[in-house]
Amino acid sequence: MRGLLLFLIGALGVAEPFMVVQWASPEHKSVSIAVPGLQGNVDECLAEGRQARIRLEIRLCRKRSAWLDHCEYARSELHTVEFDGITESYRVVSDRFGDVSEATAVGLPVREDAVNQVLRSESLPLKFLARETPDLLADRGAYISVRTIFRCKGASSRTFAHLSLFLSLGLVNTVESTSDWSDFPLFPEAEDSSGASE
């Protein structure tokens, strides 16, 4: 029985996590977020000739002992990918809402590269998440909370897509799933003495 338990724990340890948050700068001022758990969904959506959309909702929170945790309003990023038959490449559009930058669009000829790009959020500044409460960044109970909203929409045939969109008032051919909030501490207990997080 003990051997089976160790095998199960080992098998669980090898599985790739649904979501990963890591430092994007050595000064610990920004993070990068990856969502490898949605790779199969995006691949399947693109294989059917549809558009995949991943919306990341990210918020900075603080643990409170005598009350519910305090969280700033979530920031959002939207990443879309679809195959463009004219350029024969995958069009990836990324937009971080609430910042000063415009949405970025790139064409990538290899599906794997497009999927990898749509599953990542690069260099998200913690100040951007803290909004009007910069003292939250120094709080030892601070953590980042992230969830995803995945949508696969459209149809493989453009004519069928327009016809079905008209007949169903736009409510057809959409697959949507929302993940639970996942929390990632800024100051893990194991590294409290150094004040850093890997």
In a domain, 162, yes or no: yes
Query: What's the CA gap between 21 and 12, in Å, rounded?
Result: 19
Q: Which of 2-16, 109-123, 133-147 has the highest mean pLDDT?
A: 109-123
In a domain, 2, yes or no: no
In a domain, 197, yes or no: no
Residue ranges making up the domain that contains 110:
17-189
pLDDT digits (tens, 9 = 90+) for 156-188: 545 454 555 555 555 556 778 999 999 999 887
> What phi, psi does 120 have (nearest 5°)?
-130, 145
| Overall number of domains in the chain | 1
In a domain, 149, yes or no: yes
pLDDT digits (tens, 9 = 90+) for 126-152: 999 998 888 888 888 999 999 999 999
pLDDT at 162: 53
Integer CA distances (angstroms), 4 to 7, 17, 90, 128, in order: 5, 22, 44, 46
In a domain, 195, yes or no: no
pLDDT digits (tens, 9 = 90+) for 33-80: 999 999 999 999 999 999 999 999 999 999 988 889 989 999 999 999
Instruction: Tell me, yes or no, if the pTM score tops 0.85.
Output: no
In a domain, 194, yes or no: no
Query: What's the CA gap between 121 and 94, in Å, rounded?
Result: 9
Q: Is the dihedral of CA 107, 112, 115, 121 positive or negative?
A: negative
In a domain, 196, yes or no: no
